[in-house]
Amino acid sequence: MKDYFKTYNTEPTFKDVDTLKKFLTSRGKIVSTEKSGLSAKNQRKLAEQIKYARYLGLLPYTSYQKEKLSSSEEDAE
């Protein structure tokens, strides 16, 4: 697998949440370098931008938060 950001001539940014989601597992963990195919430099940038997006509330820290919110909404009905 080739480096996604080198292929599209871009850099990871916290503003592009859809692209960042491609590098998260279903549980919300950051995918390893071996699975993502990114260079070490881009993997470090990606991790930094994902963490910043989480801090800003653009991405959840875990999938548990989303599951917990949806189940509590169903209980309220």
Instruction: List the chain pLDDT tens, one digit each, 77 residues.
Output: 689 999 999 999 999 999 999 999 989 999 999 999 999 999 999 999 999 999 999 999 988 755 666 666 666 66
Which pLDDT score is estimated for 62? Answer: 86
* Nearest-5° Cα angle at 61, 3 to 22: 25
Burial (Cβ within 10 Å: 0-12, 13-18, ≥19) of residue 77 = exposed
In CATH, 4-76 is 4.10.640.10: yes
